[in-house]
């Protein structure tokens, strides 16, 4: 199978025009250009033609990249993946060595919520040898309700955002052995957070913000402390056998968390643990694949890929509640998978096989997953790609996949969190409730059916401009998730999940994972990616680089059937969307727009990212006493400007210390736009105050980055 021709290529100068700090950030910037019309999956990322690891991409500075090739979906088969993902190949410089130091500070213009971070890395590239090590640290101060004017007598005892800290150490190495280039990466990530949940007296009464009591002697302050550790190690080796690419990867991860709910007397030092939950998940996985040309037909070679993998998940939990016996679980799950994929050319103008029909290719994928406790789950997919003319590509794809719930969905321990602010759409009031989260070992598998139709036009104008339009129809039977916000229909379907007091006030919500009867979504997305040819168009000054991407999504249908026998929830016509911010529910807009723009000139650069969503509404109350909430249209804009100080001062005496120094100024929510929610009387319910919906608002970040 001949190598696929890149859809688009970026030079090292173009890469530098994004002003990013790692390969991972570069890939995020390129998302509009690497999206596929065949699926919504992220692209496959290669480094010098081999599959890259996530840690390796985080560690890789953009200065090491010589070129970026964006390849079409058909290249994915060779590397053990479905041919519904694009492929991004990062070509590195022959020799590169750098030490990078970076520090940043983030402030909100309203005050509070400050965060800071620092990282240091060392990277070396010598032909096929690569090694890197990176150390990151970040912390954020807590943000209280009182700092955002939340109407509550105990607002200085509740956090909108917790106090957090995180430290991460990561290393990666690629070392040639004979004709192979095996890679190894490892990382350790430690996080902690502390939040305040208000007074125990308020939580037990489920008081609304306007009626919560001020602290008095003898009251207990509730807090939640969480510590988590994530360990990761992975190794991969690949090679060429005849014309086939084979690969073998081994991955191991451990995720552990310790969460405690504490009660502290207002007038007495010391605290008591009310609830504690410990959770550890160990996973190990082995993947093997081989792919390439199988046989040759008149219209071209048949490309195939065979993929086998085995996975082990081991879960241990321990929970302890005040006054109750502790409980422990230890469960293991194994999964064996096999996939076979093929791409069959049917017509080819280049080979004079029905040339009037253009280039037509069929795709087929079948697979099985043998999951312990679930049995055998099937997957199959088929589709067609048709190119009637150069720069015009159409595709039609159908997928039917059975998905087992994750180990977290099944085995996560029940975590009891008091003092969670939640809007009750039945009573149209905001309550502080006790929320229970965790898994459910009785969950069933999900059957997902997806139909995608797409058209891609391009590339045009030296490869810098293209356009696309996609339609997706998805149906998830027995979808695994959490319950939608509490409405009369949801409560009637799961009455045991909601507890109310004698006067009907919501006091407890069980948000552990459930199977939803049917989730249905239809959406239409179109977009365009524009760029000035980087060979410098006539009239443009030297060193000018410009890219613009626009994506428009229309939600045609978005419904949830919580359980058979109850009314369907129509998220586009009044049903509430799941929690979007700290337990605050929202509404599904019919239309969303996203805009990316990058402009750089020599040592200076600027980027804009805009997002807009249309107005929407939610029905609340009951059939006997209906009401509604209106969500106004909202547009936000983020801006980033950066300057390469060394290039700006080139020729001056300060050039030595300034070489490799970059200054970044980033403003999130530049216009400080906030969601505006009003009820039928024109008032904003307590649970939809701006402080809940967007606690931070406008944020300004200043960072300094020095490459030695």
Q: Is residue 446 domain-resident?
A: no
Position 385 confidence tier, pLDDT thresholds 50, 70, 90: very high
Position 653 confidence tier, pLDDT thresholds 50, 70, 90: low
Range of the domain at 3: 1-93
Q: Is residue 62 domain-resident?
A: yes
pLDDT at 466 over 50: yes
Average per-residue pLDDT in the chain? 88
pLDDT at 8 over 60: yes
* Closest to 208 in 3D by CA, of 463, 449, 428, 521: 428
Taking residues 669-687, what's their average pLDDT?
90
Q: What percent of the chain has pLDDT over 90?
A: 58
| SS3 state at 698 | coil
> Could you tell me the two tokens for 55?
């840690």
> Could you tell me the two tokens for 641?
């400007």
* pTM for this model (two decimals): 0.87
The pLDDT of residue 371: 93
Q: Which of 138-152, 346-360, 618-632 has the lowest mean pLDDT?
A: 618-632
pLDDT at 269 over 70: no
More confident residue, 30 or 207: 30
Taking residues 303-307, what's their average pLDDT?
93
Position 580 confidence tier, pLDDT thresholds 50, 70, 90: very low
- Cα separation, 255 vs 20, in Å, equals 29
Position 23 confidence tier, pLDDT thresholds 50, 70, 90: very high
> Could you tell me the two tokens for 128?
């096929």
> Could you tell me the two tokens for 63?
């200065």
- Cα separation, 124 vs 616, in Å, equals 51
Whether the Cβ atoms of residue 680 and residue 577 lie closer than 8 Å to each other = no
- Tell how far CA 486 is from the center of its chain: 26
| SS3 state at 15 | helix
Q: Is residue 364 domain-resident?
A: no
The pLDDT of residue 124: 97
At 37-82, the pLDDT tens digits run 788 888 999 999 999 999 999 999 999 999 999 998 888 887 878 8
Taking residues 571-577, what's their average pLDDT?
89
pLDDT at 123 over 60: yes
More confident residue, 708 or 579: 708
- Cα separation, 623 vs 6, in Å, equals 57
Q: Is residue 53 domain-resident?
A: yes
Residue 388, CA distances (Å) to 208, 300, 349, 369, 657 in order: 62, 17, 10, 37, 56
Q: Is residue 66 domain-resident?
A: yes
Q: Is residue 708 domain-resident?
A: no
| SS3 state at 457 | strand
The pLDDT of residue 326: 80
pLDDT at 329 over 50: yes
Q: Which of 216-220, 436-440, 659-663 has the lowest mean pLDDT?
A: 216-220
More confident residue, 208 or 64: 64
Whether the Cβ atoms of residue 69 and residue 91 lie closer than 8 Å to each other = yes
The pLDDT of residue 109: 96
The pLDDT of residue 215: 67
The pLDDT of residue 581: 44
Q: How would you list the strands of the sheet with 87-92, edge to edge?
A: 8-11, 65-71, 87-92, 44-47, 50-51
pLDDT at 626 over 80: no
More confident residue, 697 or 419: 697
pLDDT at 363 over 90: yes
294 secondary structure, DSSP code? E
Through-space distance between the first and last CA atoms of the chain, rounded to whole angstroms: 43
> Could you tell me the two tokens for 148?
């955002």
More confident residue, 470 or 441: 470
Nearest-10 Cα torsion for 49, 50, 52, 56: -90
pLDDT at 2 over 50: no
- Cα separation, 493 vs 489, in Å, equals 6
More confident residue, 360 or 656: 360
Residue 70 is part of a domain; what is its CATH number? 2.170.130.10
- Tell how far CA 669 is from the center of its chain: 19
pLDDT at 204 over 70: no
Q: Where are the beta strands (DSSP E) in 323-445?
A: 327-347, 359-371, 375-389, 392-403, 415-424, 429-437
464 secondary structure, DSSP code? T
* Closest to 422 in 3D by CA, of 581, 650, 651: 581
- Tell how far CA 491 is from the center of its chain: 30
- Cα separation, 563 vs 570, in Å, equals 14
Q: Is residue 3 domain-resident?
A: yes
Whether the Cβ atoms of residue 113 and residue 161 lie closer than 8 Å to each other = yes
At 514-555, the pLDDT tens digits run 999 999 999 999 999 987 654 454 555 567 888 899 999 999
More confident residue, 504 or 190: 190
Q: How does DSSP assign 31-71, residue by residue?
A: HHHH--SS-SPPPEEEETTEEPPHHHHHH--GGGEEEEEEE
The structural domain count of the chain equals 1
pLDDT at 322 over 80: no
The pLDDT of residue 174: 95
- Cα separation, 353 vs 339, in Å, equals 30
- 375's CB contacts (< 8 A; 6+ apart) are none
- Cα separation, 610 vs 670, in Å, equals 10
Q: 504, exposed or middle or buried, with CB in 10 Å at 0-12, 13-18, 19+?
A: exposed
H helices present in 71-130, as ranges:
none
Residue whose token pair is 């993947």: 287
- Cα separation, 16 vs 479, in Å, equals 43
Is there a cis peptide before residue 625, judged by omega within 30 degrees of 0? Answer: no
Q: Is residue 7 domain-resident?
A: yes
- Cα separation, 437 vs 439, in Å, equals 7
């Amino acid at each position: 199978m001949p190598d696929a021709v890149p859809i688009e290529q970026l030079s090292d100068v173009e890469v530098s025009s994004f002003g990013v700090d790692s390969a991972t950030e570069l890939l995020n910037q390129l998302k509009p250009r690497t999206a596929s019309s065949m699926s919504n999956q992220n692209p496959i990322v290669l480094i010098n033609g081999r599959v890259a690891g996530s840690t390796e991409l985080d560690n890789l500075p953009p200065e090491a990249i010589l070129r970026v090739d964006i390849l079409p979906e058909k290249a994915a088969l060779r590397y053990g993946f479905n041919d519904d993902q694009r492929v991004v190949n990062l070509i590195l410089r022959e020799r590169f060595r750098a030490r990078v130091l970076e520090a940043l500070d983030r402030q909100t213009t309203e005050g509070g919520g400050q965060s800071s971070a620092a990282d240091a890395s060392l990277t070396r590239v010598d032909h096929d040898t690569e090694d890197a090590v990176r150390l990151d640290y970040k912390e954020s101060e807590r943000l209280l309700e009182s700092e955002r004017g939340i109407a509550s007598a105990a607002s200085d005892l509740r956090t909108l955002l917790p106090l957090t800290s995180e430290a991460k150490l990561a290393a990666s190495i690629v070392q040639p052995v004979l004709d192979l280039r095996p890679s190894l990466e490892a990382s350790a990530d430690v996080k902690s957070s502390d939040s305040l949940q208000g007074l125990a007296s308020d939580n037990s009464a489920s008081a609304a913000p306007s009626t919560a009591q001020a602290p008095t002697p003898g009251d207990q302050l509730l807090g939640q402390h969480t510590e988590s550790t994530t360990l990761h190690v992975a190794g991969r080796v690949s090679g060429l056998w005849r014309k086939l690419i084979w690969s073998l990867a081994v991955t191991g991860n451990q995720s552990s968390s310790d969460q405690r709910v504490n009660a502290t007397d207002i007038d007495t030092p010391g605290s008591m643990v009310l609830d504690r939950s410990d959770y550890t998940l160990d996973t190990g996985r082995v993947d093997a694949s081989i792919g390439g040309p199988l046989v040759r037909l008149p219209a071209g070679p048949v490309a195939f890929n065979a993929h086998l993998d085995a996975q082990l998940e081991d879960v241990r939990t321990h929970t302890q509640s005040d006054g109750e016996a502790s409980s422990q679980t230890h469960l293991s799950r194994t999964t064996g998978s096999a996939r076979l994929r093929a791409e069959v050319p049917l017509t080819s103008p280049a080979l004079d096989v029905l040339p009037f029909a253009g280039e037509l290719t069929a795709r087929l994928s079948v697979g099985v997953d043998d999951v312990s406790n679930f049995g055998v789950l099937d997957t199959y997919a088929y589709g067609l790609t048709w190119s009637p003319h150069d720069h015009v590509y159409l595709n039609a794809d159908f997928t039917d996949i059975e998905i087992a719930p994750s180990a977290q969905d099944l085995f996560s321990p029940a975590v009891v969190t008091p003092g969670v602010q939640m809007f009750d759409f039945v009573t149209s009031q905001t309550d502080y409730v006790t929320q229970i989260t965790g898994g459910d070992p009785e969950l069933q598998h999900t059957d997902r059916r997806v139909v995608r139709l797409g058209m891609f036009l391009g590339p045009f104008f030296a490869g810098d401009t293209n356009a696309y339009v996609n339609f997706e129809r998805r149906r998830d039977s027995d979808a695994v998730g959490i319950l939608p916000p509490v409405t009369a229909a949801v409560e009637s379907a799961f009455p045991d999940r909601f507890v109310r007091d004698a006067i009907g006030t919501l006091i407890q919500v069980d948000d552990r994972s459930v199977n939803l009867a049917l989730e249905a979504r239809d959406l239409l997305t179109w977009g365009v990616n524009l760029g000035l040819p980087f060979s410098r168009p006539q009239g443009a000054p030297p060193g000018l680089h410009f890219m613009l991407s626009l994506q428009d999504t229309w939600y045609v249908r978005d419904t949830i059937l919580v359980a058979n026998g109850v009314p369907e929830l129509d998220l586009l016509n009044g049903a509430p969307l799941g929690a979007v911010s700290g337990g605050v529910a929202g509404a599904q807009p019919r239309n969303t727009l996203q805009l990316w723009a990058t402009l750089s000139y020599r040592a200076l650069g600027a980027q804009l990212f805009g997002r807009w969503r249309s107005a929407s509404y939610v029905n609340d109350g009951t059939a006997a006493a209906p009401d509604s909430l209106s969500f106004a249209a909202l547009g936000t804009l983020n801006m980033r400007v950066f300057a390469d100080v060394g290039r700006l001062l080139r020729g001056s005496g300060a050039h030595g210390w300034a070489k490799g120094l970059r200054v970044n100024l980033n403003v999130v929510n530049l216009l400080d736009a906030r969601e505006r929610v009003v009820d039928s009387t024109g008032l904003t319910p307590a649970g939809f105050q701006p402080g809940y919906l967007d606690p931070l608002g406008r944020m300004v970040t200043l960072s300094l980055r020095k490459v030695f």
